[in-house]
């Protein structure tokens, strides 16, 4: 609607990927075709004027007509934020998962390391999905780090399965609680039993941080995605 208000054209928008309801995005990529003569800077200002406060356009680039934000993406980077403490994170409640009991972030990091590489991630998605499509994905990064009361889980892969990141985080929290060992976490991955990782972290703690492309299309973006939220 914002694009139609600006250009007067019926415009269709293609996204780099869909996220679960309740998941946030700081680096979503959207593509559209328009005959408007407005430059990129005008689009940024005008779209932000028409959009609700919860949505912000940070950059507009002209690309080839053949550009496909989903199929041409080489990786997606997600961050999951856990507030590890009993005190309620009032100001951040909408973007973190509060886990009151102490978590062993080192054990979680050890378990997460087993995710790097090309694997069958069937255990970390819905059983109904695993029977219909390939569940193999190539993960290039899986890290867990503690920043005070927050624990950040960072994952990057060529693509993700439905609920994959949230189920990974749920299982890592079980490792952090001591209910699951790093070895048992690795067994979940290797055995690839559909839906075996049943604890799904809440959507609100997950954020799509960046979508990467071969030509570095948005790599010079002046953003804050490397900060610890």
- Alpha-helix residue ranges (DSSP H) falling in the chain: 2-7, 40-50, 105-113, 127-130, 164-177, 182-191
Q: Where are the domains of the chain?
A: 2-70, 73-208
Question: Looking at domain 73-208, does it have CATH number 2.60.120.620?
Answer: no
34 — phi, psi (to 5°)? -145, 145
Task: Please state, for a pLDDT cut of 90, what percent of the chain lies above it.
Answer: 62
> Which CATH class, in words, describes the domain spanning 2-70?
alpha beta
Query: What are the residue numbers of the active site?
Result: 20
Q: Does the fold of domain 73-208 match that of domain 2-70? A: yes
Give 9's DSSP letter: S
Joined tokens for residue 133: 């499509």
Instruction: Give CA–CA dist 76/210, Å, rounded.
Output: 6
Length of the chain: 229
Q: How confident is the model at residue 18 (pLDDT cuts 50, 70, 90)?
A: confident
End-to-end CA distance of the chain: 30
- Check: CB of residue 214 under 8 Å from CB of residue 31: no
Q: How does pLDDT run across 120-154, given as a tens digit for each residue?
A: 999 999 888 877 789 999 999 999 999 999 999 99
Average pLDDT over residues 21-41: 88
Residue 79 near residue 154 (C-beta atoms within 8 A): yes
Summarize the confidence of residues 156-169 as an average pLDDT: 96
DSSP state letters, 58-127: -------TT--TTTTEEEEEEEEEEEESSS--GGGGGG-EEE-S---HHHHHHHHHTT-EEEE-GGGS-H
Structure tokens at 78: 């997600």
């Amino acid at each position: 609607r914002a694009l139609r208000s600006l250009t007067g054209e019926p415009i269709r928008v293609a996204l780099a990927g869909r996220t679960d309801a309740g998941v946030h995005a700081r680096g979503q990529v959207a593509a559209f075709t328009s005959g408007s003569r407005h430059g990129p800077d005008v689009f940024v200002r005008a779209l932000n004027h028409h959009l609700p406060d919860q949505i912000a356009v940070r950059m507009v680039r002209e690309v080839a007509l053949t550009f496909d934000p989903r199929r041409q993406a080489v990786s997606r980077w997600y961050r999951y934020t856990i507030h590890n403490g009993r005190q309620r994170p009032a100001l951040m409640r909408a973007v973190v998962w509060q886990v009151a009991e102490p978590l062993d972030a080192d054990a979680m990091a050890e378990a997460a390391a087993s995710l790097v590489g090309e694997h069958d991630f069937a255990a970390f998605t819905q059983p109904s999905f695993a029977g219909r499509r390939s569940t193999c994905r190539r993960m290039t990064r899986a890290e867990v780090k503690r920043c005070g009361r927050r624990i950040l889980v960072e994952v990057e892969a060529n693509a993700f399965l439905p609920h994959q990141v949230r189920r990974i985080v749920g299982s890592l929290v079980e490792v952090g609680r001591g209910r699951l060992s790093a070895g048992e976490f690795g067994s979940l991955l290797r055995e690839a039993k559909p839906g075996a990782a049943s604890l799904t972290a809440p959507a609100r703690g997950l954020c799509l941080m960046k979508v990467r492309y071969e030509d570095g299309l948005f790599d010079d973006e002046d953003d804050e995605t490397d900060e610890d939220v």
